[in-house]
Amino acid sequence: MGLRYVLLRVVASAAMAVAATLVVFLVAHTVPADPVLAQLGDKQSANPETVARFRARWGLDRPLHEQYGIFLARLARGDLGESIASRRPVLDDIRQYVPATIELATVAGFLTIVIGVPLGIAAAVRRDGWIDHVARFLCLIGVSAPTFWLAFIVLALFYGGLEIAPSPGRLDVGAGAPPHVTGMFVVDGILAGDWASARNALAHLVLPSVVLAAATIGIVTRTTRAAMLETLGQDYVRTARAKGVAERGVVRRHAFPNALVPVLTLAGLAYAELLAGTVLTETIFSWPGLGRYTYQSALAVDFPAIMGVTLLVALMYLAINLAVDVAYLVVDPRVARR
Amino acid sequence: MLGVAGAVIILAWGAVAALAPRIAPHSPLQVDVLARLKPPSAEHLFGTDSLGRDVLSRVVLGARVSLPAGLVVVLLAAAFGTLYGGVAAYAGAKVEEVQMRVTDLFLSFPPLLLAMAIAAALGKGVLNTIVAMAIVWWPKYARLARSLVLVQRSLEYVEAARGLGQGGGRTLLRHIVPNAIGPVVALVALDVGNGMITFAGLSFLGLGVVPPTPEWGAMVSEGQVLIEQWWVSTFPGLAIFSVVMGFNFLGDALRDWLDPRG
Amino acid sequence: MMRSASTLRRCALTLLAALLALAAGSSPRPAAAAGKTTLVLGVDISDARTFDPARQFEYSSPITMKAVYETLVTVSPGDYGTVKPLLAESWKLVDGGKAWEFKLRKGVKFASGNPLTAEDVKFSFERLAHVKDQPADLTENMGAIEVVDPQTVKIAMADKNQPLLTIFTSVSYAVVDAKAVMAQGGTSAKDAEKADKATAWLDTHSAGTGPYVLTGWTRNQEVVLERNKSYWRAPAAFEKVVLRHIGDGAAQVLAVRRGDIDAALNLSPDQLESLAKDANLKIVSAPSLDYMYMTLTSSADLNATLAKKPARQAVAAAIDYDGTIKGLMGGHAIRPATFIPIGLGGSTEALTKEIGYKQDLAKAKKLLAEAGVPNGFSFKLSYGKASIAGTSYDLVSQKIQSDLARVGIKAELDPMDQATLRTAYKEGKAQAVLTFWGPDAMEPYLWAQPSIGRVAKRVHWTPSKDIVDLVNRAGGEPDPKKAAALYREYERMLIDQANYLMLIQPVYRVATSKAITGYQLTAAGWQVDLYDVKPAK
């Protein structure tokens, strides 16, 4: 699995993302909802002239193959068209919502790894000890507590009750965003040397990212534990122990690397899922992210937005899966066979 | 020990589901808007919901939909995904490549849209919802299973088994599956609750069950707008929690039982 | 190993402490800050898509539009039938009743400093018509516009028997600063649909005469308004107004309790109940002109039984209207007799008592027998996953289902996403629909006309010539009393027809901080007039 393979995968990924848009395009057009009738006011939608004018504006009056052709032609020019619901270029929408989501997903992903992996290892090493039981209990809560419920509880506790967390939203009320570079306020704040903004944005990230991480930590902890238990029982680990290698060394050098492959796989999938956005957490924390945008676009049958989001989400999934596959090599070269 | 506890929890829920109409103290559909949102009392142990219906009775009857829905989706997806991923990792490089790219393609669809389209194409109903969910659910297991098998097949004992002339299928079953299944079981045990909640989440598209049929996930989200009436969402939430816990205990026991060295 | 476990614990604790310290470092509450120079509203603004008066047609945006723009004439809360002066001092019918002539108020300046002239009115209204976006339909009855002199403008009516003056109260008829808008690429020419380029600028700036100016808008985050220093009346009470996007009602509850926002606009009845005891808060309310209603089809192809009038009347007689309002809305709703909401065209609660539907199960059974289905029948009731004043269609539909079951009528609930529902409804493909109506402008004809026009088509009812004549006469009648009498006769016919069952006309309620006063809700499209809101003394 060399550089050539990775390059091939990159090219294949781009092609697949476009293929995904074709499938989604066909699938979306089977939904018996008309975006123009859904968007227009009651009176306007009874006026055939108005309806025809709006249909034409988004090319919805053309045959399907032509519509998709137009999409491809625009895509080649780096244009995703105009959203039917927001009436601005889909790219502008994405440019606003994606950085907000990346920021949130990355902090949540970070929390997941730094808490979930060590907790899973500790639970496996001290199996049936107190740490195993506590970890299990926390994971079960994190996974089975409904997201909005958890979100509301932490908001009620830390924002409403203890008054130590900031209000929902990305920044304090009336606080202007730092100069736009990446759209991620923490990063932009640091780049501009605007520490107040960076700190403000980071403070607003804490609660929503903890809520998001709650579920993924549960999954990563439990699968890390399971994978560690498998490897701790393997012959080569026993051999290492018999040779007198210290327990820490056994865990770190022998058991952990093999356990890491499935953990990486799941962590990658979880991160991709976080990047695709999460509707409920975004709603409660008034987070202008990709999850709500996707949700609203799907519900409005907003074809240009749906296609744009599909392309983007597909690319993110493909990129992360590729990164995970490459990481297998780094972690455990024996897995490679090409 | 925990495994027994898990089995007891699941069997108890199974019994509740089977005997639901006889256990429920009230009709789960009896609307009485003047008795709405009453806190737990002797008359209504779990209180009443926004339409004055008995929450306990709805939790009991809800087991009939939520248990099978969560289970079927996850087991279906896990069984197919694991098999698919396992075969991919064990098959030749070309086959694996094609199989995993297909998985990628499935992962890259927005699940919501897929669900809407399936509702439009197949029609609404519990079964179609389960199909729609399973379609977006399996690739995760495929990727996990593949990664597990990749690790196993590179280990010495597998090489040795193959060297001794054991067939591929036999090696897969005798050596690889028992050693690799742990994380899959752990994930399934957690996923069942996720399945029940997602199943309910699709109800706003008219998928899943149609009101007024009681169902846990829908009951939990009904309580979402309520602030002081904690009982409306807490009791169905606890029901989901107990099921996930039961499966988790069972999952750990299953893993131990499968462990060839345990 | 013990060491590694304790390292782990230490790491976890450090991380937690760091998170808490970071979260704690948030800045002081702007809403409660000393001197009260900023007003903060917590509101769901996810529907906002533009602040260009010629394009804006959303639900939450008129709050902003009303604060930064003004219209020629206006109405006040609770008295929607009386047109009052705003930018126009006086007006009269001219040319034999075929046109309205307005005298503009003297000394009014736009926020830019430009004086208001008749040219601005002509530009604004022609731009509204020619940009041809959603609100352009409100210009249907607007004819040629003539600048008589800088302070006088004459606007012709396409049909003198149809309303126009009341429609000028809509925020779509905002008068914009023609010079400022043209400088940003705006045009009112016939080809404005393609040629006008001012929208992008108008989305984050305003060009009006209102008490505030728009200075910023970040979608799904906030809208920022600042005081207009050259306002023609006393200057606005706040230096700054922020419409903060909080999409979730429960989060709004927390924010208004904590004092981060001065008003929480999107609360459910039960959430409001939980705030009623808070000593720092006050709940203000006003009846809206919105309502939730149910349609029943007349098409035998869709449902052979519903197509029979007695069957529809049986449904109407089986619903527990009062229980729905009392139980699901906490009593905070009223109910019109039929399509014209209470507060307009002579529609009142007394009228509903007199001629509207009532629950009468014996009568329902009799009607079912008359329809040839003494043991009941079934129909499909479609609705979208949404809510009105915090009460979901899901709850209302289940309540109706249980009411109808008492006389043997089976309503099969058919929930779906809004886009699919609207498509099915507007294309006339649904047997029965639970849906919503909101005002375009304060003119009863804009309700009555569709009920015998486009909405009648959706339920496959062909209105008689009598009822059509009645509505047209009422629409052209300048005397509100006489119009009300005509509408009443139309309402009786509509009720007998039983295609539309009005369920809930909510009383909207907002939780406000006691640090502000003058928060007066209005049903006139813009919900609240921010100019009236002031810090409490």
Q: What is the DSSP string of B148-190?
A: HHHHHHTSHHHHHHHHTT--HHHHIIIIIHHHHHHHHHHHHHH
Q: What's the confidence (pLDDT) of residue B113?
A: 73
**Per-10-residue mean pLDDT for chain A, 338 residues long?**
82 88 86 88 88 91 93 93 92 93 94 94 89 88 78 88 89 85 91 91 94 90 89 78 79 80 89 85 89 87 91 90 86 63
pLDDT tops 90 at residue C149: yes
* C143's tokens: 């004819």
Contact B33 C324 (CB under 8 A): yes
Q: Give residue ranges of C with CB < 8 Å to any B CB.
A: 249-250, 253, 268, 270-271, 273-274, 323-324, 326-328, 385, 390, 394-395, 397-399, 401-402, 412-417
Q: What's the confidence (pLDDT) of residue C207?
A: 96
Which residues of chain C are within 8 Å of residue A98 when distances are taken between CB atoms?
A: none
* C44's tokens: 């769901």
pLDDT in tens, C206-238: 999 999 999 999 999 999 999 999 999 999 999
Which residues of chain B are within 8 Å of residue A318 when distances are taken between CB atoms?
A: 104, 108
Interface contact B148, partner A, CB < 8 A: yes
pLDDT tops 80 at residue C242: yes
Asked if residue B147 lies in contact with residue B182, where contact means CB atoms within 8 angstroms, the answer is: no
Which residues of chain B are within 8 Å of residue A30 when distances are taken between CB atoms?
A: 117, 120-121
* A241's tokens: 């122990």
Q: What's the confidence (pLDDT) of residue C38?
A: 94
Which residues of chain B are within 8 Å of residue A34 when distances are taken between CB atoms?
A: none
Contact A223 B114 (CB under 8 A): no
In angstroms, the CA A138 to CA A122 distance is 14
Going from the C-alpha of C94 to that of each of C98, C99, C141, C148, C476, the distances in angstroms are 6, 5, 16, 12, 16
Pick A136's closest partner by Cβ from B180, B248, B255: B248
Helix, strand or coil for residue B48? strand
Pick B227's closest partner by Cβ from C253, C401, C415: C253
Pick C250's closest partner by Cβ from B30, B206, B225: B225
B-chain residue closest to A5, CA distance: B97
CB proximity list for C83: less than 8 A, separation 6 or greater: C73, C74, C75, C165, C166, C169
Nearest alpha carbon to residue C420 among A298, A291, B24, A245: A298
In percent, how much of chain C has pLDDT > 70?
93
C-chain residue closest to A131, CA distance: C5
pLDDT in tens, C481-503: 999 999 999 999 999 999 999 99
Q: What's the confidence (pLDDT) of residue B179?
A: 76
Contact A16 B262 (CB under 8 A): no
pLDDT band at C12 (very low <50, low <70, confident <90, very high): low
**Interface contacts (A, B; CB < 8 Å):** 164
- Find the helix or strand (DSSP H, E) in which B2 lies: helix B2-23
For residue C415, the 8-state DSSP code is E
What are the b/e assignments for A2-14, b being 16+ CB within 10 Å?
A: eeeeeeebeebbe
In percent, how much of chain C has pLDDT > 90?
79
Q: What's the confidence (pLDDT) of residue C248?
A: 87
Give B205→chain A minimum CA distance, Å.
9
Beta bridge partners of B56: none
Averaged pLDDT for residues C35-58: 93
Q: What's the confidence (pLDDT) of residue C15?
A: 56
Measured on CA atoms in the order A94, A96, A102, A104, is the torsion positive or negative?
negative
Q: What's the confidence (pLDDT) of residue C387?
A: 86
Give C70→chain A minimum CA distance, Å.
23
Averaged pLDDT for residues C332-339: 95
Asked if residue C46 lies in contact with residue C245, where contact means CB atoms within 8 angstroms, the answer is: yes
pLDDT tops 60 at residue C19: no
Q: What's the confidence (pLDDT) of residue C81?
A: 81
A320/B93: higher pLDDT: A320
Interface contact B144, partner A, CB < 8 A: yes
The answer to pTM > 0.90 is no
Which residues of chain B are within 8 Å of residue C401 when distances are taken between CB atoms?
A: 212
pLDDT tops 90 at residue C74: yes
Q: What's the confidence (pLDDT) of residue C279?
A: 93
pLDDT in tens, B48-83: 999 999 999 999 999 998 898 889 999 999 999 999
pLDDT in tens, A283-320: 889 999 998 898 888 888 899 999 999 899 889 989 99
Interface contact B113, partner C, CB < 8 A: no
Give B150→chain A minimum CA distance, Å.
6
* B227's tokens: 């602030």
Q: Left if phi > 0, otherwise alpha if psi is -120 to 50, otherwise beta: which for B182?
A: alpha
Pick C417's closest partner by Cβ from B31, B116, B228: B116
Of B59-63, C28-32, C133-137, C368-372, the least confident:
C28-32
Q: What's the confidence (pLDDT) of residue C308?
A: 96
Give the helix ranges, DSSP H, for C210-248. none
* C250's tokens: 């429960």
* A52's tokens: 């025809």
Which residues of chain A are within 8 Å of residue C249 when distances are taken between CB atoms?
A: none
Q: What's the confidence (pLDDT) of residue C3?
A: 41
| Angle (deg, nearest 10), helices B177-201 and A256-275 | 20
For residue C521, the 8-state DSSP code is B
pLDDT tops 90 at residue C451: yes
For an interface test with B, which of C398, C422, C503 has the most B Cβ atoms less than 10 Å from its Cβ? C398
* B183's tokens: 């994380």
In angstroms, the CA B142 to CA B218 distance is 29
Contact B144 A313 (CB under 8 A): no
For chain B, give the mean pLDDT: 84
- Find the helix or strand (DSSP H, E) in which C120 lies: helix C118-131
Averaged pLDDT for residues C307-316: 97
Instruction: Note the Cα C425 to chain centre separation in Å.
Output: 20
Question: How many residues can be counted in chain C?
Answer: 537
Pick A20's closest partner by Cβ from B108, B220, B259: B108
Beta bridge partners of C391: C388
Chains touching chain A, criterion 3+ CB pairs below 8 Å: B, C
Pairing of strands C222-227, C240-245: antiparallel
Residue with tokens 């609360």: C267
CB proximity list for A122: less than 8 A, separation 6 or greater: A131, A132, A135, C4, C5, C8
pLDDT tops 80 at residue C28: no
Q: What's the confidence (pLDDT) of residue C94?
A: 95
Measured on CA atoms in the order C181, C184, C189, C190, is the torsion positive or negative?
negative
Q: For C26, how many CA atoms within 13 A lie in the half-sphere containing its CB?
A: 30
* A249's tokens: 């060394």
Give A292→chain C minimum CA distance, Å.
10
Phi, psi of C343 (to 5 degrees): 115, -10
Interface contact A306, partner B, CB < 8 A: yes
Angle at CA C69, nearest 5°, toward C64 and C75?
90
Pick B225's closest partner by Cβ from C270, C328, C397: C270
For an interface test with B, which of A112, A139, A155, A265 has the most B Cβ atoms less than 10 Å from its Cβ? A265
Pick C49's closest partner by Cβ from A38, A87, A126: A87
In angstroms, the CA C273 to CA C281 distance is 12
Give B120→chain C minimum CA distance, Å.
10
For residue C303, the 8-state DSSP code is -
Contact C402 B51 (CB under 8 A): yes
In angstroms, the CA B176 to CA B196 distance is 31
Asked if residue C437 lies in contact with residue A42, where contact means CB atoms within 8 angstroms, the answer is: yes
Q: What's the confidence (pLDDT) of residue C417?
A: 85
For chain C, give the mean pLDDT: 91
Pick A269's closest partner by Cβ from B143, B156, B186: B143
- C206 burial via Cβ count (<10 Å: 0-12, 13-18, 19+): buried
Q: What's the confidence (pLDDT) of residue C216?
A: 93
CB proximity list for C191: less than 8 A, separation 6 or greater: C130
Contact B33 C328 (CB under 8 A): yes
Averaged pLDDT for residues C305-321: 97
Of B88-97, C293-302, C528-537, the least confident:
B88-97
Q: What's the confidence (pLDDT) of residue A246?
A: 80
Q: What's the confidence (pLDDT) of residue C4?
A: 44
Looking at this predicted complex, what is its ipTM? 0.87
A-chain residue closest to B175, CA distance: A234
For an interface test with C, which of B36, B204, B210, B228 has the most C Cβ atoms less than 10 Å from its Cβ? B204
In angstroms, the CA C448 to CA C472 distance is 9
pLDDT tops 90 at residue C95: yes
pLDDT in tens, C378-426: 999 999 988 888 889 999 999 999 999 999 999 999 988 888 899 999 9
pLDDT in tens, B164-215: 766 667 777 777 777 778 889 888 888 887 888 788 777 766 778 888 999 8
pLDDT tops 80 at residue C521: yes
Phi, psi of A316 (to 5 degrees): -65, -45
Instruction: Note the Cα C186 to chain centre separation in Å.
Output: 28
* C217's tokens: 């808008």
Contact A261 B255 (CB under 8 A): no
Contact B151 A19 (CB under 8 A): no
